[in-house]
Amino acid sequence: KNKTLFMCGDFNINLEHPVDLKTSSDFFDMIYSLGLVPLINKPTRITTQSATIIDNIFTNRKEDVVKTGILMTDISDHLPIFVVSKYHNNNKNIIKHNFINYERNKSVKALEDLNKDLKMQNWTEVYVSDVNNAYTSFMKILLKSFNSSCKLIKITGKRDNQPWMTNGIKNACAKKNCLYTRFLKLQTKEAEDRYKKYKNKLVTIIRKQKKDYYGNLLNQNKNNTKATWGILNSVTNREKTKSSIPNHFVKDKKDIYDDKEITDEFNDFCVNVGRSLMENKPIIED
């Protein structure tokens, strides 16, 4: 009740002339019965043969809508649609936060400093019989060294996620977008062919540029295994992946989720692993 609702998507029903087809008419009857109205009234899928409104945004609060529109981009054969709306918040005690992005310094020097610092630490507190105390001491020493060597760095400015990009390619991308916009306006076969031909040529140039850039980078670091893997990981986006750590322990086909039980079972396994191996050692006869 009294909630603002937005419903959007590809409905695959041409809403340009809703009364011409029974399917469109029935769809609009259902939408209006729910108190919703459409916000997009221009074609969202354009070809040389047709221009249809099959993507739309519906809302029950049209009076709050500030702006709606279509983005002219060739990211898909459907044009992206958007809506900007007023936001009503009855909560008077609004707390504003300013967010600052930080990241850990994981440079080669920082990791070398961490390695040196860890070697200088006194690990006596870790070598105790109680596994909980040993773990706590270990993490305390490790985190202290880690925070000292790999400090948090404030991220400023926009990152260059495409180091292979040149000004020539940027200009070519802008021209490609202009050709696409021209095709959308003219809807002629000639305009479509010109746009597609230019786009395909640009894709080939970009692929070659990326291949040459990373090829030269790998060649410059061919004697540095660590740097080589860093380049490969950046290309394949493996840097963004996170390792999955199990959240339970399995013993005798029984799942254990309690942290203390897991610690005890892990400790018991480590303490008795040698004895278990000796007991199960196969007998070798001469």
pLDDT digits (tens, 9 = 90+) for 96-118: 667 778 888 888 888 889 999 99
Calpha distance 44→52 (Å, rounded): 6
- State residue 252 phi and psi, 5-degree precision: 50, 45
Judge if 180 and 131 occupy the same domain: no
pTM over 0.85: no
Asked if the structure places residue 75 within a domain, the reply is yes
| Tens-place pLDDT, residues 147-187 | 999 998 887 766 566 888 999 999 999 999 999 999 999 99
| Tens-place pLDDT, residues 35-86 | 999 999 999 999 998 899 999 999 999 999 999 999 988 888 899 999 999 8
Closest CA to 56 of 31, 22, 21: 31
Calpha distance 134→123 (Å, rounded): 10
Judge if 248 and 235 occupy the same domain: no
CB atoms within 10 A of CB 245: 5
Asked if the structure places residue 268 within a domain, the reply is yes
Give the burial class of 165: count Cβ atoms within 10 A of its Cβ; 0-12 exposed, 13-18 middle, 19 or more buried.
middle
Judge if 226 and 264 occupy the same domain: no
Question: Sorting pLDDT into bands at 50, 70 and 90, what band is 227?
Answer: confident
Question: Sorting pLDDT into bands at 50, 70 and 90, what band is 95?
Answer: low
Domain boundary among 85, 113, 135: 85
Predicted local confidence at residue 280, as pLDDT: 62
pLDDT, average across residues 253-270: 76
First to last CA, the chain: 86
Which residues constitute the domain of residue 183?
A: 167-240
What's the total number of domains in the chain? 4
**Residue 75 contacts residue 179 (beta carbons within 8 Å):** no
Asked if the structure places residue 95 within a domain, the reply is no
